[in-house]
């Protein structure tokens, strides 16, 4: 067990490169099951969740080779086990992404019930409903879901609610289905589009990814490719907020600013200057007066729920008050209790949070409850008087690559220490 200790009060300045997105890397790794050869994947972040997915694939028979330049070669042509192990899936719900590829290629799968961050109900019933409509037979017990399909059929399926992993799973399940499969009310996230682009580079015929309707024309085989994973827009957004909250000047490279449009608009309304180029973004907060700003989370292209906690931390020291409405997950205010320990003035009612800005926050000992909650505590710690100690940082290591190293490069003072 480890914790982070942050000495607050440092103004961040400088530039960093953005890492690849784990939410792109995970489905692309799962999709390797579909490929009739090895694939070379670059820009994968060094994260616990990526390691867990690689371990899961390896346990099923996938060969994995790490190249000196950071690329990872994945060969899933010799899979011998069609089971996603309980001890791995329980720690990361994205492990269910192997379900669609396994059923598509081998006609069956045994998947443990998913785990991951405790941020509310995220059932996979939409995944299963879609597979059932395609002809799969599904059984389940307390620990496992059993899926079998002699032949998947082309269908038209509308998701009852938008689901990112549901969209990805059914898109992958459909790549070999003879005929045309149409998915409606799909997630529009850039990571979904990145997965479709990856599959198309292997020979798939997928159209409409990034919109609400995706069509898949089945093909016989998918071939090898070399793919660079999309940048992590949530990591980029988090470091933008780090520059904002410390009233610094921070530039993030290796990104696509258009994918951050909703966050950029919110930050500009709060009083910050944002400068965009083709593959970088810079925030200048040195002379800003921070103004509290209302916002509501929504599926992409709306304001990302994965940035809600970070922008809440920023609002805590703004002028005035802000109303935050969480419309994606029902249990995503667990960071509020910890921010209050640091002096934040936050009132909760159902899926609403009202923040009244205070002049400053105070360092305290706090505990991370989930991935993005932990990021908000790091941001608050950057400006907290005295020192902030953050426990349970295994959450942050699931989604942020070398967070203390990147922030220290910008001028922060953060150390990671083991707990006895």
Q: Which residue has the higher pLDDT, 94 or 374?
A: 374
- pLDDT single digits (tens) 199-223: 999 999 999 999 999 999 999 999 9
pLDDT attached to residue 119: 39
Q: What is the rounded average pLDDT for all residues in the chain?
A: 94
Contact 75, 52 (CB under 8 A): no
> Is residue 246 a contact partner of residue 239, using CB atoms and an 8 Å limit?
no
Q: What is the pLDDT of residue 87?
A: 84
> Cβ atoms within 10 A of the Cβ of 210, count?
17
**Res. 335 pLDDT band, cuts 50 70 90:** very high
Answer whether residue 139 shows pLDDT above 80: yes
H or E element in which residue 171 lies: helix 164-173
Q: Which CATH number fits domain 22-228: 2.40.50.140, 3.40.50.150, 3.30.70.20, 3.65.10.10?
A: 3.65.10.10
In this predicted model, what pLDDT tens digit does every residue of 92-125 receive, in sequence order?
Answer: 878 899 999 999 999 999 998 775 444 344 468 8
Helix, strand, or coil (residue 118)? coil
d(CA 32, CA 229): 13
User: What pLDDT sits at residue 118?
Assistant: 44
Which of 18-22, 95-99, 186-190 shows the lowest per-residue confidence on average (mean pLDDT)? 95-99
- Mean of pLDDT values over 356-380: 94
In angstroms, the Cα distances linking 74 to 37, 52, 227 are 9, 14, 12
In angstroms, the CA 183 to CA 186 distance is: 7
Q: Where in the chain is the domain with CATH 3.65.10.10?
A: 2-19+231-418, 22-228
Enter the tokens of residue 158.
């509308």
CA distance 288 to 307: 21
Strand partners, 207: 215
Neighbouring residues of 224: CB distance < 8 A, sequence distance ≥ 6: 35, 37, 38, 39, 40, 202
Calculate mean pLDDT across residues 159-170: 95
| Joined tokens for residue 388 | 């902030």
Shortest CA distance to 29 belongs to which of 11, 14, 47, 13? 47
Distance CA 54, CA 67 (A): 15
Q: What is the DSSP letter of 220?
A: S
User: Is 402 marked active-site?
Assistant: no
- State the catalytic residue, choosing from 117, 202, 292, 316: 117
* pLDDT bucket at 196, cuts 50 / 70 / 90: very high
Whole-number pLDDT of residue 121:
44
Torsion sign (Cα): 29, 212, 96, 132: negative
Would you state the pLDDT for residue 115?
52
Asked whether the beta carbons of 195 and 28 are under 8 A apart, the reply is yes
CA angle, 306 then 404 then 390, to 5°: 70
β-pairing, 72-75 vs 63-66, is antiparallel
Q: Burial level of 418, CB count in 10 A (0-12/13-18/19+)?
A: exposed
The pLDDT assigned to 346 comes to: 98
Whether 331 contacts 349, CB under 8 Å:
no
Topology (CATH) of 2-19+231-418? UDP-n-acetylglucosamine1-carboxyvinyl-transferase; Chain (3.65.10)
Mean pLDDT across the stretch 39-53? 95
Q: How far apart are CA 25 and CA 31, in angstroms?
A: 10
Q: Over range 160-182, report the average pLDDT.
A: 97
Is the omega angle on the peptide bond into residue 301 within 30 degrees of 0, that is, cis? yes
Separation between Cα atoms, residue 373 and residue 341, nearest integer Å: 14
User: CB neighbours (10 Å) of residue 278?
Assistant: 8
Q: Are strands 365-367 and 414-418 parallel, antiparallel or unpaired?
A: unpaired
Other Cβ atoms within 10 Å of 55 Cβ, number: 16
* Percent with pLDDT over 90 in the chain: 87
d(CA 288, CA 250): 14
**Given the DSSP bridges, would you call strands 72-75 and 108-112 parallel, antiparallel or unpaired?**
unpaired
User: Higher confidence at residue 89 or residue 131?
Assistant: 131
Spatial neighbors of 258 by CB under 8 A, at least 6 apart, are none
In this prediction, residue 420 has a pLDDT band, given cuts at 50, 70 and 90, of confident
Whether the pLDDT of residue 91 is over 90: the answer is no
């Amino acid at each position: 067990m480890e914790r982070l200790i942050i000495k607050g009060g440092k103004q961040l300045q400088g530039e960093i490169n953005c890492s690849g997105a784990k939410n792109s890397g995970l489905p692309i790794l799962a999709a390797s099951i579909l490929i009739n050869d090895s694939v070379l994947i670059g820009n994968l972040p060094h994260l616990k969740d990526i390691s867990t997915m690689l371990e899961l694939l390896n346990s099923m028979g996938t060969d994995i080779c790490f190249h000196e330049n950071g690329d990872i070669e994945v060969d899933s042509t010799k899979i011998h086990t069609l089971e996603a192990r309980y001890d791995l899936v329980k720690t990361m719900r994205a492990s269910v992404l192997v379900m669609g590829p396994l059923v598509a290629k081998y006609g069956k799968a045994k998947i443990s019930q998913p785990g991951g961050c405790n941020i509310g109900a995220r059932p996979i019933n939409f995944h299963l409903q879609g597979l059932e409509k395609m002809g799969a037979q599904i059984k389940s017990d307390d620990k496992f879901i059993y899926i079998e399909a002699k032949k998947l059929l082309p269908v038209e399926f509308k998701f009852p609610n938008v689901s990112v992993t549901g969209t990805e799973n059914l898109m992958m399940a459909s790549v070999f289905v003879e005929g045309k499969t149409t998915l409606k009310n799909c997630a529009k996230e850039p990571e979904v589009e990145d997965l479709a682009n990856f599959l198309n580079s292997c020979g798939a015929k997928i159209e409409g990814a990034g919109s609400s309707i995706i069509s898949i024309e089945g093909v016989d085989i998918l071939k090898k490719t070399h793919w660079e994973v999309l940048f992590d827009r949530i990591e980029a957004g988090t470091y933008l907020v780090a520059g904002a909250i410390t009233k610094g000047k921070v530039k993030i490279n290796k990104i696509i600013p258009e994918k951050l449009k909703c966050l950029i608009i919110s930050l500009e309304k709060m009083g910050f200057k944002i400068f965009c180029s083709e593959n970088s973004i810079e925030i200048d907060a040195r002379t800003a007066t921070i103004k509290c700003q209302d916002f509501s989370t929504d599926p992409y292209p709306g304001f990302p729920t994965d940035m809600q906690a970070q922008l809440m931390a920023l609002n805590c020291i703004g002028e005035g008050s802000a109303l935050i409405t969480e419309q994606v997950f029902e249990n995503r205010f667990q960071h509020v209790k910890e921010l209050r320990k640091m002096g934040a003035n936050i009132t909760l009612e159902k899926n609403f949070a009202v923040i009244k800005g205070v002049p400053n926050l105070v360092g305290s000992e706090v505990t991370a409850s989930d991935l993005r909650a932990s990021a908000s505590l790091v941001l608050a710690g950057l400006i907290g008087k005295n020192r902030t100690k953050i426990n349970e940082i295994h959450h942050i290591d699931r989604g942020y690559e070398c967070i203390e190293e990147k922030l220290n490069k910008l001028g922060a003072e953060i150390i990671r220490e083991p707990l006895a």
